[in-house]
Structure 1
């Protein structure tokens, strides 16, 4: 089917999807110096046999684009997906300048918005299948989103120009990324986004309380698992009513999709949870099997 990797890289986000089709997707970039070489090598190995590799930027904060120059040098980013924006920084980094170069490159950039379609992102052809990726937000004409764009263009935080990205595996799990959307902004757009049931939710803003998902959305999502990121523990919202994995405790996470379920592996062999089914699977690529999550019926 497919595999999804969430790297434990401290205060930042970086994921990849090795699709069951001829596609490979990288979501955000954060390459700490001590892991940069091994992460780039893994991405190169995992994407090697795939015909299409795309990079999706949820938004241009440094903890989501750190190491972008190195990533581009290593894999060659020819398909750069982002929300159309004019974000600026008072003290731009090399990686932010490179983000802007890719963002503004008419030959490489594809702009994400609610309901957008593209061949092999969510459309199939005779050449290769779909990646199962859909964008639920932004609605580019929305006044609240336009205000967030203006703030980012003025050098303020780009958190609220983050896209909401959904990945659906046929007969398998549905996963959702929300970048660094903040709670007050999500509450403003609460009725403007069509929220589906979700099997795995990657909590926005690294799981911070400032990015906790509104209760109305959580009821619609009914997530089988919430992945909480690596912000300092005193800033985290732990989603007490839902089953969670906390990445600053478990390390890297690998999800291997299967029919109506997903097998989960983590980096710390001492980490365990009590809400997953035990199918007795072997460990995988240096990661440790902790159990299997059943998926919503669709």
Structure 2
């Protein structure tokens, strides 16, 4: 059972440490499937999402569980542009260092965003309530996630936020044409690698001007990030790319090493 294998790996890798934070971009089933099973096994202590009242005409077990976590005052923390929280992106007196996670969107008083919240509340697609999330490692990688933001919505907000240079970006809406990132944002980010998610091939924007790794063929992707470099591993043992440096690393994590890039 694939879900059991994934959760067992999470439990194994975290056996000597606590997993304190679960971040949800939006409550579509392909982004929350298995949430209840995961929570039952690891006990999610902090649930991060945008403040919303999304509904569904047909509620799955995982959507109901999402709503329970979302509305749980002791577990939920609502994210928005510039939000600050100890250990997320702010040091405190008990612990030096943070997870270096920054929220670049949403601006919660933006009218277009509020309209998308209303659409989600009325049972329409919650894609455009997705946040933009930045992770950075000191003297290392910068990565950006966009959830399932759609091109039409990003075009509306593109002048409201300035995106930083990024080494890795995860293409919105699984890399579909409908999630095409505005050219102004792509120019600013100038990513070294774009990860294209699992979407039907005929709907994918393959971004021929950028180095890409496509999950449809690569399978699971693991970025092993350290100071100045990132080692890349994939689950498909036959997958390869020509834009990474071969540093002779051994396969691990049950995956194939396909190369390294500098950041």
Query: What band does the TM-score fall into relative to the shorter chain?
Result: over 0.9
After superposition, residues 145-156 of structure 1 pair within 5 angstroms as 145-156=113-124
Question: TM-score, normalized by length of structure 1?
Answer: 0.86
| CA deviations over 1:8-42 (Å, ceiling 9, x no partner) | xxxxxxxxxxxxxxxxxxxxxxxxxx301100101
**Given the alignment of the two structures, is residue 131 of structure 1 paired with residue 131 of structure 2, yes or no?**
no
**Given the alignment of the two structures, is residue 244 of structure 1 paired with residue 206 of structure 2, yes or no?**
no
**Given the alignment of the two structures, is residue 205 of structure 1 paired with residue 173 of structure 2, yes or no?**
yes
Map of 1:114 onto structure 2: 81
Q: CA deviation at 1:260?
A: 1.5
Q: CA deviation at 1:259?
A: 1.7
| CA deviations over 1:207-241 (Å, ceiling 9, x no partner) | 11100111110000000000001101111000111
Instruction: Determine which structure has the larger strand proportion and give its number.
Output: 1
SS at match of 1:271: coil
Partners of 2:6 and 2:223 in 1: how far apart?
Answer: 17
**Given the alignment of the two structures, is residue 257 of structure 1 paired with residue 225 of structure 2, yes or no?**
yes
Map of 1:293 onto structure 2: 261
Q: CA deviation at 1:278?
A: 1.1
Question: Which residues of structure 1 form unaligned runs of 5+?
Answer: 1-33
| CA deviations over 1:102-160 (Å, ceiling 9, x no partner) | 10111000000000010101112343330111100000000110010000000000000
Partners of 2:74 and 2:188 in 1: how far apart?
Answer: 38
Map of 2:64 onto structure 1: 97
After superposition, residues 1-298 of structure 1 pair within 5 angstroms as 34-128=1-95, 129-295=97-263
Report runs of 4+ in structure 1 exceeding 6 Å deviation.
Answer: none
Partners of 1:50 and 1:139 in 2: how far apart?
Answer: 33
SS at match of 2:83: coil
SS at match of 1:135: strand
Question: Which residues of structure 2 form unaligned runs of 5+?
Answer: none
Partners of 1:92 and 1:55 in 2: how far apart?
Answer: 21
Q: Contact 1:60–1:158 at 8 Å: present in 2 too?
A: yes
Question: TM-score, normalized by length of structure 2?
Answer: 0.97
SS at match of 2:233: strand
SS at match of 2:21: strand
Partners of 2:205 and 2:162 in 1: how far apart?
Answer: 23
Give the RMSD, CA atoms, in angstroms. 0.9
SS at match of 2:11: helix
More off after superposition, 121-130 vs 35-44: 121-130
Partners of 1:81 and 1:148 in 2: how far apart?
Answer: 19
